[in-house]
Each structure stands twice: as structure tokens, then as C-alpha cells.
Amino acid sequence: MKHGDTNSKPIDSAVTNFEKIKEGLQGIYEILNLTYSDENMYFLMAQDNIRAIYGSFLELMTNQEGVLGLIKKIKSAEIDLDIPLDSIS
């Protein structure tokens, strides 16, 4: 594939988004680490959730057939993409 190949743009974008997800999860972890001690129950639960999110994301991204099926479901609005974080109290 040539450097200027237009087919590389979606791949470059995907790699950039993947890096942003990793950085975002790392940022959340660092904020929690500054806020809570390593022995705090909430910190430990959040840490477990961050690991689970990242593990699930990696598993999803390495399952090409599953990703394509997920994309179809998203495009046909079979899956709700909204995460109502502001309604969590």
C-alpha cells in the first residue's frame, strides 16, 4: 500500500481512535488514582471496570466477523449507542 493511498485513511483514523480510547482509559485511571488510595473500594471497582472495558474492546476489535455484524446492527439502529451518564445519580 502506497503512503498516499486513500485506502489508508480509514485505517489511520481507526488507529488514531484506538489510541484515543487507550489514552482516555489511562486518563480515567490516573484521575481515580489521584483521587483514591490503592486500597479504596471504589478505586478498585473502577480499576476492574476499566480493565473489563479495555479487554472487551480488544476482544471486539479482533473479531472481524463480529465487528462487521455489530456495524450492520448499529447502521440499522438495532443497537442503542446512547450512554446516559448524566442520569446516573
Give φ, ψ of 78 to 5 degrees.
-80, -15
pTM of the predicted model over 0.75: no
78-89 confidence digits (pLDDT tens)? 888 887 777 665
Residue 25: closest CA among 56, 4, 62: 56
Q: What is the pLDDT of residue 4?
A: 55
30-79 confidence digits (pLDDT tens)? 998 898 888 899 999 999 999 999 999 899 888 889 888 888 988 888 88
* C-alpha–C-alpha distance, residues 73 and 83, integer Å: 17
